[in-house]
Structures are given as structure tokens and as C-alpha cells.
């Protein structure tokens, strides 16, 4: 049984930038009594063009910061960081660490024609973790992948409906539509911020899948198993931290309101 201090301690949530706010939304809904510290590493975003070693070092730095704040568990709310660093993090730290992965399994189950698309960063698509996902869950379906270079940067600036962002979305959705995908995985936590725009491009008959809800459910299960759920009855609170500028904080607030 954990001590009262540990049980009521915050949960640390980390991402390369603002994308993990889409995961935090699901976490606060699934675990309304928990306290959250969210760290956006916007000064070093995007992670998709960094080496695994660079990403690991950033994750260690952020994890240390969140643990110093008393975090009882960590959520790596970034597909690229999960692929590059979560194994090393679990070797380094003893607290529960929950990661992300593109929702290939549920997409394969949801697809009616057996063709699924995956929108993700280059780092995620090139990772061993993603290759393993395809090996385990991609059998019997056609998986069309698309790296979305530049899209994270647009979302980091709060540009959800600008011509540049819409042009990138059109460019990256086109190959998936041409292949006949009826289900598309949003394989980066930033992408749910432009889910509406993607849906308008691909049409209402295409199913879009992100993994925020599944991560929240998994965190709840782990905390419950370890008797670490907050016993308070009042709503939890959350604190926003970032490595960027005041403008980053403004965008975070803007997108947090947008996500709710």
C-alpha cells in the first residue's frame, strides 16, 4: 500500500511540445481526481528529426524535473519519445511509466476493407517499436504510412486552420485516400488538434483513430493495481510547464481550451 503522500502525488505527463495536451484531456476525464503536471519540451520540438540518443537525454531531463515535483507516475504522451526512450526510462526509473503507440491494432479491427493509413512522424515510422506493431497487428491488412514533415511545427505555433497547415494535411492525406484507406491512425499526439480538418479532407466515411483514451484507461488500470489512485473526492488540478517561451505558454492555454 502506498503512503498517503504518494497516493495524492501528481502524475507527470511529458511531450515534445503541446501535442500531449490531447492525451491530458483523456487523462483528466478518466481520472478526474488526480493532479497532473504537464511538461511541453517546446524548445526542442519536434522530436521526429532527432536521434534516439538525443530524445532519450531530453526524456531523462524532463522525467527528472517531474519526479522532483513529486510525480508518482509518468505518461510519455509522445509516440516518437515512447519509441526512442521508454525502454531506457523504465530501466532508469522505478515509478510506473505509460507510453504511446500508434493504434494499428484497433485500426485493423475497425477497417472494413482491410486498408489502413498511418499519419506519423518520421521518427515513429522508422522505429523498431512501429515495425513490431506491424509485425504483430498488421498481418492481413494493408498498411499505408505517411510521414508528416512540418505538421508538428505548425500545430506548435497554434496554426490549425492556416493555408500552410491545410496544404500539408491535404498533401499527407492524399496518398492514404488514393490507396483506399477507410481507417486512418493519428500516430502523433499533435494530430488530434487537426482531427476536424483531416476529417473534412478524407470524408465522413473514413474512421480516424487516436490512442489518448486507451492510454488513460491503461494508466487507471496501473494505478489501481498498485493502489496508487488518488483517494480525494474533489477534482484534481493541473500545472503547465514548458522549456519554451511565454508564447509557448500562450499556445498551450489556447490549445487546452480548444481541446475541451
Residues at the annotated binding site for substrate? 15-16, 47-48, 79-80, 189-190
Pairwise CA distance, residues 100 & 78, whole Å: 6
CA gap 206, 48 in Å, rounded? 26
Per-residue DSSP letter, 22:
H
Residue of 59, 148, 173, 188 with catalytic role: 188
Hunting for cell 507527470 — which residue is that? 12
| Strands (DSSP E) found in 107-167 | 115-120, 142-147
Rg (CA), the chain: 18
Annotated binding site: 15-16, 47-48, 79-80, 189-190
Element (H, E) at 246: helix 246-259
Alpha helix positions (H), 148-211: 151-156, 163-179, 195-202
Instruction: Respond yes or no: is residue 78 known to be catalytic.
Output: yes
Q: Which one of the listed residues 2, 59, 78, 148 is annotated catalytic?
A: 78
59 catalytic per annotation: no
**Residue 149, helix vs strand vs coil:** coil
Note if the bond before 61 is cis, omega within 30 degrees: no
Burial of 240 (0-12, 13-18, 19+ CB in 10 A): middle
Please identify every residue annotated as catalytic. 78, 188
Amino acid at each position: 500500500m502506498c503512503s498517503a503522500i504518494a497516493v495524492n502525488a501528481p502524475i507527470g505527463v511529458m511531450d515534445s511540445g503541446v501535442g500531449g495536451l490531447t492525451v491530458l484531456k483523456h487523462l483528466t476525464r478518466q481520472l478526474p481526481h488526480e493532479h497532473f503536471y504537464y511538461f511541453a519540451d517546446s524548445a526542442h520540438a519536434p522530436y521526429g528529426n532527432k536521434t534516439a540518443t538525443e530524445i532519450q537525454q531530453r526524456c531523462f531531463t524532463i522525467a527528472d524535473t517531474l519526479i522532483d515535483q513529486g510525480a508518482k507516475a509518468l505518461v510519455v504522451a509522445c509516440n516518437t519519445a515512447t519509441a526512442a526512450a521508454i525502454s531506457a526510462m523504465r530501466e532508469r526509473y522505478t515509478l510506473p511509466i505509460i507510453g504511446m503507440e500508434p493504434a494499428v491494432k484497433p485500426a485493423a479491427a475497425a477497417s472494413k476493407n482491410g486498408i489502413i493509413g498511418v499519419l506519423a512522424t518520421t521518427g515513429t515510422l522508422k522505429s523498431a517499436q512501429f515495425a513490431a506493431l506491424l509485425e504483430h497487428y498488421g498481418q492481413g491488412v494493408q498498411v499505408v504510412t505517411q510521414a508528416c514533415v512540418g505538421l508538428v511545427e505548425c500545430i506548435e505555433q497554434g496554426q490549425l486552420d492556416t493555408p500552410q497547415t491545410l496544404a500539408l494535411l491535404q498533401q499527407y492525406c492524399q496518398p492514404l485516400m488514393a490507396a483506399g484507406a477507410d481507417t486512418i491512425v493519428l500516430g502523433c499526439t499533435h494530430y488530434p488538434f487537426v482531427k476536424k480538418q483531416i476529417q473534412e479532407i478524407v470524408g465522413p466515411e473514413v474512421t480516424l483513430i487516436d490512442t489518448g483514451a486507451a492510454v488513460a484507461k491503461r494508466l487507471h488500470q496501473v494505478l489501481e493495481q498498485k493502489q496508487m489512485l488518488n483517494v480525494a473526492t474533489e477534482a484534481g488540478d493541473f500545472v503547465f510547464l514548458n522549456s519554451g517561451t511565454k508564447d509557448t505558454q500562450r499556445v498551450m492555454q489556447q490549445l487546452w481550451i480548444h481541446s475541451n
